[in-house]
Amino acid sequence: MRALKIAATGMSAQQMRVEVISNNLANMSTTAYNTRRAEFADLHYQQLQRPGSINASDGTVVPTGVQLGLGVKPTSVSVHLAQGSLTQTNGDLDLAIEGNGYLEVTMPDGGAAYTRDGGLKRSAEGQIVTSDGYPVVPDIVIPDDAISLSINGDGEIYAYFSNQVEAELLGQFTLAGFPNARGLEALGGNLFRETEASGPANVADPGTDGLGTLRQGYLENSSVDAVREVTELIEAQRGYELNAKVITAADQMMASTSQIR
């Protein structure tokens, strides 16, 4: 009974789909989170009679053949890259990226990671870091006596002091772009890592090389569409139930066969 194994792959696929949807809904309020989608492909085919084979001595060719599918398999969980809406926070170190690009951060092992979460903080030493304390590249230190900060769209950060009129330029943020941003490896904590699939990072100033610009005092919201996710959740649930019914039907057929006398 191939139907048992085929339906089992269908149930497994719908279970994975539900897990991806649940992760999307759990991250509805996560800064700059992009929706994930589970993608599938037919698993394999058993060729009982190949299309194009000769069916008779007169050379008649079988037009379609007999190919029995053996189920479904997951192919990828892809990221739908979309710009989330912006929420005004008025925070000096809250940055939203309008367009493409990621902020680069330095991990504890010295490696590079990338994020679109612009909810930056100031460490005890005045260094600009992420919410988890990872330093943002390039290394910018805010003086202790700075009373306020200003960051323009090009990423230039200025500090204002009580004893001087003009602002002081502390540095400039950069953004990193990738040939295939969907190929980045998600690390959790709104962080991503470069992979062979993503291609190398192209680091440049905001507003250049196809990169977006920065907006101070705003944060990017998640791009999750709750209505769409709930709709897909219902579809996945029904798909799981239908595959379960196939298993029940196959079991009943096997029971009927075993009861023949």
* 3-state secondary structure (DSSP) of residue 199: coil
CA distance 177 to 114: 10
Same domain as 73, residue 90 = no
For residue 17, pLDDT beyond 70:
yes
Residue 167 amino acid letter: A
pLDDT for 61-119, tens place per residue? 777 778 888 999 999 999 999 999 999 999 999 999 999 999 999 999 999 999 999 99
* Distance from C-alpha of 144 to C-alpha of 121, rounded to nearest angstrom: 14
What is the total count of domains within the chain?
2
**Taking all residues of the chain, what is their mean pLDDT, rounded to a whole number?**
92
Confidence at residue 57, expressed as pLDDT on a 0 to 100 scale: 65
Q: 250 and 205 share a domain?
A: no
Separation CA 80–CA 192 (nearest Å):
15
Interval 151-174: pLDDT, tens: 999 999 999 999 888 999 999 999
Nearest to residue 1, comparing CAs of 97, 68, 90? 68
Q: Tell me: do 98 and 204 sit in the same domain.
A: yes
Q: Do 233 and 245 fall into the same domain? A: yes
pLDDT at 231 over 90: yes
Same domain for 122 and 164:
yes
Based on the fold, state whether residues 42 and 128 are members of the same structural domain: no
Helix (H) or strand (E) holding 159: strand 156-161
**Mean pLDDT, residues 118-146:** 94
Is the per-residue pLDDT at 232 higher than 80? yes
3-state secondary structure of 42: strand
Same domain (yes/no): 111, 168: yes
Q: Omega before 138 cis (within 30°)?
A: yes
Expressed in percent and rounded to 5, the helix, strand and coil fractions of the chain are 25, 35, 40
The span from the CA of 138 to the CA of 108, in Å, is 15
Q: How sure is the predictor about 254, in pLDDT bands with cuts at 50, 70 and 90?
A: confident
Mean pLDDT in residue range 3-24: 95
Q: Do 97 and 111 lie in a common domain?
A: yes
Q: Decide if pLDDT at 54 tops 80.
A: no
Percentage, residues of the chain above pLDDT 90: 82
Q: Are 106 and 192 members of one domain?
A: yes
| The amino acid at 176 | A
Give yes or no: residues 104 and 131 share one domain. Answer: yes
Return the structure tokens found at 218. Answer: 């705003």
Shared domain for 146 and 28, answered yes or no, is: no
Question: What is the model's pTM?
Answer: 0.86
Residue 46: give the domain boundaries. Answer: 2-81+224-258
Cross-strand partners of 172: 156
pLDDT confidence bin for 212, thresholds 50/70/90: very high
Q: Residues 175, 97: one domain?
A: yes
Q: How much is the average pLDDT of 40-51? A: 85
Identify whether the C-beta of residue 74 lies closer than 8 Å to the C-beta of residue 14. Answer: no
| Residue 130 vs residue 2, higher pLDDT | 130
Give pLDDT, residue 261. 64
pLDDT at 111: 94
HSE-CB at 83 with a 13 A cutoff on CA atoms is: 12
